[in-house]
Chains A and B, each alone.
Chain A
């Protein structure tokens, strides 16, 4: 019974809790047991917090019993990517440099989930400082894909997607800077939504690239994604870049109907280099949408090919400044031996950061340097504007855009580890969305012959998560991909 309950969607266990068919405590126990049993196979947790979870579960039980400000999330066991700042709960961001760091506060999205009555099972593995596409760049060991432990779960929120796919939590939050929610969702067959930049507060997520970072729910289906969005979206006075716009009830967009909607399919996303199994899965989805009554049209996003290089200037530049605070002075790792202040900085940072993070800090420092700024950073900002304009032109013709999430199915562990450029290309279809600040969602749309998941991506207009949810929900209702469970 315990495993079956863990496999249910968030919306269905929410109903059971409400009806009293199960208590939050029992539910939490079930998840804790399952984590103990399954997680050693996939390594998705960096930190398990069973005591805290059971305490929160008892509080949720009381709340449910008294019917006190109940939300659909009251009593729901979740787990968070370890990039989320959690008061009094160690937060490492997948890095040795933050090992042992106990934050003095909780971030906005986390606080909203806690206030809603969720139960925190633990903190999930990730690429160090969210830099990576395979979850191999973690100081806490790689995460393995629940569908096949020889393959990567994607990244950087690979711990989150693996945990949700393996039914180790009812839902999770990830962050998406260049595809870190959508790409691992595609790899693990979960639903990953990256909202419009500014829709969810960034206060309390450890910054990677501030102009690109966005919090997004990782769930078992589209309905759960809408429920999570209702809880976390909204303006936050602690985040100057958060958007002050009313938050709709996203569950109202769970409408199984795409008739009258126009879906654009950009030719630049089906070019040489894309895996045939991926392109045929997404083309099949396009046919499905046509069958369901949507109007699918070909569109062009001409600057797509510049997205990856643009991203790999802007993101490292921002990260080089964002990661300067890890200096061994106030918190985190400090080298045991050092000669003077400069030596303390150098040793602490060299010992604390992994190779991918170090590489990006160096690149970012370089592109911001005096004499190079105009040629790199400023030019990249200009290209970013062109990429944005591509999308706005396209949205004059369509309501949403359909693309693959990544050019290949999940790859093997170690396969791309030594070749950063190839690794970077696995985010080629997700990066443009971050550069343009648009919402995007990854939805399961098939499996490769090897049995590994494939996802489709829907991209929406700014603040139009509703249309994405509606199209994704319609597709989900018409297909069974999301119902498949990994062989664990």
Chain B
């Protein structure tokens, strides 16, 4: 029998607010333990929560971008359980009445193979994943077990009270790759909206997966398991694939899947049981009496709607239309908001130059340089774009130097490497290193004559019909001019003299 997987994802995204969800503490992520805390977020007796309006706004933004219906009235509820990283003994979350209901997200249709497909710009085939709800809640603190005391654990409350949104998808994905694509797309949107850093390793974008299998064609869901500890997109896909295989094996052997929470172990590549359904918590949710229902006015929603930024899909479509670059380029360039901004900054620089007219070849040239040289260097370095030493302005200047004939494309690559290393402007590097292209016909002619004189044997062969040797002469002249000779002039002169 053939089985299909049913996958739903729950994402917890840390919101990029300046202060925490219910108190005025900053949301700094790298402060020393317990230095960004206050009586409220450490649950001191007598303290009360006050809702951070900026967090609500970011959640609404997300809801609008995911086509959710923003609820005029939502309610904060207490989720009760004991754990040392949860100072109040309950987490303030939303339960029965969340801020956003419904919605959807389109992902590229099931992609076979490669685990990191770029998003297709408009027009390509997509699959719609439903969003069930988006709600606001506060993060917990962090247990620290390796703080130098073998028999002691410590609690760091810095993260406690940091605002989170939980985004719950429908059980609409059928393959690990779809899960990966959904997460990448969702992360991309949150980063574009500027509501989340989207860093999985740092835990500000976290994912739990619900997965079950069922015979193909059956509409009833199978017993699901919940996967936790998925710290990268790859881990999500690997864990889902592992779990599909495990469940399929169980079911084909006539065994039952146990409803349980499983931890993904990235080292062993296996899932491990954390707790079964019987051990599941009864969270005893009830409306938090410290907070009045959250009332959102229509005018506010409209205002937020008006301020929504252009998201990746629309940006990619626009790039194709406006700059005439291929869909593939547009998809890569818009994959990261910062990269798209970089691209457009370089274009704007070109615009600013009186010599440079907006033209499709120019736009494509910038795209090429970014996609090949720039992204390669960054990848080799594991560096983020924001730390890139080459500014978009400098990249534009480099391309201008090529277009003006000041340097050859070959030299340009050398200049680029130097720019990447030092952050210097290309013109300065060219001047300092004497890399300027030689376009002086007299100088090149001297070199051509010298090469012809030095290689009588090759000359003879060439004249006797071995025309392939033309390249040899070009190379020799290039060498003679230290690579700075203008290739067009070299070609023209050689053609003339070798006849």
Binding site for B on A (CB under 8 A): 84-85, 91, 93, 98, 101, 103-105, 107, 202-207, 209-211, 237-241, 317-318, 320-321, 323-327, 329-331, 341, 345, 365, 368-370, 373, 377
Given A93, A239, A329, A345, which contacts B45 in the complex, CB threshold below 8 Å? A93
B78 touches A321 (CB 8 A): yes
Within 8 A of A (CB), among B263-286: 282, 284-286
The one of B44, B46, B82, B282 in contact with A327, judged by C-beta atoms closer than 8 angstroms, is B82
Task: Verify if B51 is at the interface (C-beta below 8 Å from A).
Answer: yes
- B187 is an interface residue with CB less than 8 A from chain A: no
Please state if A241 and B292 are interface contacts (CB–CB under 8 Å): yes
| The one of A85, A240, A368 that contacts B286, using a Cβ cutoff of 8 Å | A368
A93: chain B residues within 8 A (beta carbon): 45
Q: Which of B48, B49, B89 contacts A325 (CB 8 A)?
A: B89
- Identify which of A85, A317, A324, A329 contacts B46 (C-beta below 8 A): A85
- Cβ distance B290 to chain A, nearest Cβ, rounded Å: 5
Tell me whether B39 and A369 are in contact (CB under 8 A). no
Chain B residue at smallest Cβ distance from A377: B286
Q: Is A369 a contact partner of B82 (Cβ separation < 8 A)? A: no
Q: Which of B48, B88, B282, B290 has the most CB of A within 10 A?
A: B48
B45 near A101: Cβ-Cβ < 8 Å: yes
**B43, A330: Cβ atoms closer than 8 Å:** yes
CB distance from B226 to the nearest CB of A (A): 18
B 282-322 contacts with A by CB, 8 A: 282, 284-286, 288-292
CB proximity of A291 to chain B, nearest CB, Å: 43
Residue in B43, B46, B51, B282 with the greatest tally of chain A CB atoms within 10 Å: B46
Is the C-beta of B155 less than 8 angstroms from some C-beta in chain A?
A: yes
Is B46 in contact with A368, judged by CB distance below 8 angstroms? no
Q: Are A325 and B284 in contact (CB under 8 A)?
A: no
Q: How far is the CB of B339 from chain A (nearest CB, A)?
A: 41
B289 touches A210 (CB 8 A): yes
CA distance A206 to B39 in the complex (A): 13
Q: How far is the CB of B153 from chain A (nearest CB, A)?
A: 9
B292 and A207 form a contact (CB under 8 A): no
| B45/A238 in contact, CB under 8 A | no
CA distance A341 to B81 in the complex (A): 13
Q: Which residue of B lies closest to A345 (CB)?
A: B82
CB pair A321 B49 closer than 8 Å: no
Q: A104-B44, A209-B289, A317-B286 are in contact. List 19 more A-B contacts (CB 8 A).
A: A105-B44, A204-B46, A206-B46, A211-B289, A240-B48, A240-B50, A240-B292, A320-B80, A321-B78, A321-B284, A323-B89, A324-B82, A324-B90, A325-B88, A326-B45, A329-B155, A345-B82, A368-B285, A370-B284
Known: A210-B289, A318-B289, A321-B286. A240 touches B45 (CB 8 A): no
Q: Are A107 and B46 in contact (CB under 8 A)?
A: yes
Interface residues of B (CB under 8 A from A): 39, 42-51, 78, 80, 82, 84, 87-90, 155, 282, 284-286, 288-292
What are the 6 tightest A-B residue pairs by CB atom distance, in nearest-first order? A324-B89, A211-B289, A210-B289, A368-B284, A85-B46, A206-B45
Q: In the complex the two chains form, what is the Cα distance from A210 to B47 in whole Å?
A: 11
6 contacts between A and B (CB under 8 A): A84-B46, A101-B45, A240-B51, A241-B291, A320-B80, A321-B80
Do B47 and A365 touch across chains, with their CB atoms under 8 A apart?
no
A324 touches B48 (CB 8 A): no
Q: Is there contact, CB below 8 Å, between B45 and A91?
A: yes
Are A203 and B284 in touch, CB under 8 angstroms?
no
Which residues in B have their C-beta under 8 angstroms from that of A206? 45-46
Interface hub of A321, A365, A373 (most chain B Cβ within 10 A):
A321
On whether the beta carbons of B45 and A324 are closer than 8 Å, the reply is no
A to B contact number (C-beta, < 8 Å): 99
A105 contact set on B, CB distance < 8 A: 39, 44, 47
**How many angstroms between the C-alpha atoms of A123 and B47 in the bound complex?**
19
Which chain A residue shows the least CB distance to B157?
A330
Q: How near does chain A come to B287, taking the closest CB pair, in angstroms?
A: 9
**Smallest CB separation, B193 vs chain A (Å):** 26
Q: Which residues of A contact B45 (CB under 8 A)?
A: 85, 91, 93, 98, 101, 103, 206-207, 325-326
Once bound together, how far apart are the Cα atoms of A101 and B42, in whole Å? 14
| A174, B22: Cα distance in complex, Å | 27
A330 touches B292 (CB 8 A): no
CB distance from A202 to the nearest CB of B (A): 6
| Pair B282/A240 contact, Cβ less than 8 Å | no
Task: Enumerate chain A residues within 8 angstroms of B155, measured Cβ to Cβ.
Answer: 329-330
A327 and B89: CB pair below 8 A? yes
Are the CB atoms of A104 and B39 closer together than 8 Å?
Answer: yes
| Bound Cα distance from A323 to B51, whole angstroms | 21
Name the distance in Å between A245's Cβ and chain B's nearest Cβ. Answer: 15
A209 to B284, CA, bound (A): 16
**B50 A237 Cβ-Cβ under 8 A:** yes
Contacts of B44 in A (CB 8 A): 85, 103-105, 331
Contact A370 B47 (CB under 8 A): no
Check if A203 sits within 8 Å of B90, measured CB to CB: no
Contact check, A238 vs B50: say whether CB atoms are below 8 A apart.
Answer: yes
Give the complex CA separation of A472 and B57 in angstroms: 47
CA distance A291 to B39 in the complex (A): 53
B46 and A325: CB pair below 8 A?
no
On whether the beta carbons of A373 and B286 are closer than 8 Å, the reply is yes
Whole-angstrom CA separation of A360 from B288 in the bound complex: 18
B214 to chain A, nearest CB (A): 27
> A321 and B50: CB pair below 8 A?
no
Max chain A C-beta neighbours (<10 A), residue from B43, B49, B286: B286
Which residues of A sit under 8 angstroms from B49, Cβ to Cβ? 240
Interface centre among B50, B78, B87, B284 (most CB of A within 10 A): B284
Quick one: which of A101, A107, A321 contacts B90, CB cutoff 8 A? A321
B437 smallest CB distance to A (angstroms): 67
Please determine whether A321 and B47 come into contact, CB atoms closer than 8 angstroms: no
Contact B46 A240 (CB under 8 A): no
In the assembled complex, which residues on chain A have CB atoms less than 8 Å from the CB atom of B291?
A: 240-241
B347 CB to nearest chain A CB (Å)? 47
Contacting residues, chain B, for A365 (C-beta < 8 A) = 284
Give chain B nearest CB distance to A166 CB in angstroms: 27
Chain B nearest CB from A373 CB (Å) reads 7
The residue that A238 contacts in the complex, of B48, B82, B87, with Cβ under 8 A, is B48
Instruction: Using CB atoms, name the residue of chain A closest to B79.
Output: A321
A207 to B43, CA, bound (A): 11
Chain B residues, CB < 8 A from A326: 45
Q: Report the Cα distance A241→B51, complex, angstroms.
A: 11
Task: State whether A240 and B80 are in contact (beta carbons under 8 Å apart), knowing that A203-B47, A205-B46, A330-B43 are contacts in the complex.
Answer: no
B282 contacts A369, C-beta separation under 8 Å: yes
Chain B residues, Cβ within 8 Å of A318: 289
Residues of chain B lying within 8 A (CB to CB) of residue A84: 46
Q: Hey, which chain B residues are within 8 Å of A330, CB to CB?
A: 42-43, 87, 155
Check if A321 sits within 8 Å of B46, measured CB to CB: no
Q: For residue B89, which residues in chain A have a CB less than 8 angstroms away from its CB? A: 321, 323-325, 327
User: B232 to nearest A CB, angstroms?
Assistant: 29
Query: How close is B283's CB to chain A, nearest CB, in angstroms?
Result: 8
A370 to B281, CA, bound (A): 10
The smallest beta-carbon distance between B288 and chain A, in angstroms, is 8
Q: Are A240 and B290 in contact (CB under 8 A)?
A: yes
Complex CA distance for A368 and B79, rounded to whole angstroms: 11
Chain B, Cβ-Cβ closest to A328: B84
Q: Closest CB-CB distance, A213 to chain B, in whole Å?
A: 9
- A-chain residues with CB within 8 Å of residue B50 when the two chains form the complex: 237-240
For the complex, give the distance between the alpha carbons of A207 and B290 in Å: 10
Chain B residues near A329 (CB-CB < 8 A): 84, 87, 155
> In the docked arrangement, what's the CA distance between A368 and B285, Å?
7
Q: Is B80 within 8 A of A324, CB to CB?
A: yes
Closest to A201 in B: B48
Contacts of A370 in B (CB 8 A): 282, 284
What's the nearest-Cβ distance from chain B to residue A366, in Å? Answer: 10
Q: Closest CB-CB distance, A95 to chain B, in whole Å?
A: 10
How many angstroms from the CA of A237 to the CA of B48 in the assembled complex?
10
Alpha-carbon distance between A103 and B286 when the two chains are bound, in angstroms: 28
CA distance in complex: A230, B494 (Å): 100
Contact B88 A324 (CB under 8 A): yes
A414 to chain B, nearest CB (A): 30
